[in-house]
């Protein structure tokens, strides 16, 4: 631990995790420690597990970068370049959960949907929540 502090690499414990099941309407929170750093994680779970998780997340992040280029109207060539130039980085979680009802209200306020569209979308969302 002292070596880690001297190197300025105190690591990060996973800490408090929150999980919500929209289907069941239940949320739970619990403490989970996946390790303070890469070496700790490898010691706990093994090199293969740690690399597999890294690889999976790197692929997902790369795909998201390429999808972002395509979603913004970029060319196939630009999308491929974004993928081949992609370098994994530190993930920061800044995205907040979207409120689907607020989004529908905003769409109606902006004139993007009318009352009948709103009613239909609300029925669809309710059916999804009820597992149907």
Give the helix ranges, DSSP H, for 25-97: 38-45, 47-71, 76-85
Structure-model confidence comparison of residues 127 and 7, the more confident one: 127
Structure-model confidence comparison of residues 123 and 2, the more confident one: 123
Which whole number is the average pLDDT over 1-20? Answer: 56
User: How far apart, in whole angstroms, are the C-alpha atoms of residue 1 and residue 36?
Assistant: 10
- Residues 44-85 pLDDT 10s: 999 999 999 999 999 999 999 999 999 999 999 999 999 999
Determine the pLDDT at residue 95: 56
Burial bucket for residue 66 (CB in 10 Å: 0-12, 13-18, 19+) = buried
List Cβ neighbours of 31 (8 Å cut-off, separation of 6 or more).
15, 16, 17
Mean pLDDT of the chain: 83
């Amino acid at each position: 631990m002292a070596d880690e502090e001297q190197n300025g690499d105190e690591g990060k414990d996973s800490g408090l995790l929150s999980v919500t099941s929209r289907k069941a309407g239940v949320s739970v929170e619990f403490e989970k420690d996946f390790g303070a750093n890469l070496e700790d994680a490898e010691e706990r779970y093994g090199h293969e597990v740690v690399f597999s998780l890294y690889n999976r997340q790197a692929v997902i992040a790369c795909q998201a970068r390429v999808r972002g280029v395509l979603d913004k109207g970029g060319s196939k060539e630009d999308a491929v370049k974004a993928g081949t130039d992609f370098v994994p980085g530190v993930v920061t979680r800044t995205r907040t959960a979207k409120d689907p009802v607020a989004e529908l209200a905003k769409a109606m306020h902006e004139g993007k949907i009318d009352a009948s569209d709103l009613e239909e979308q609300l029925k669809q969302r309710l059916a999804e929540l009820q597992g149907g």
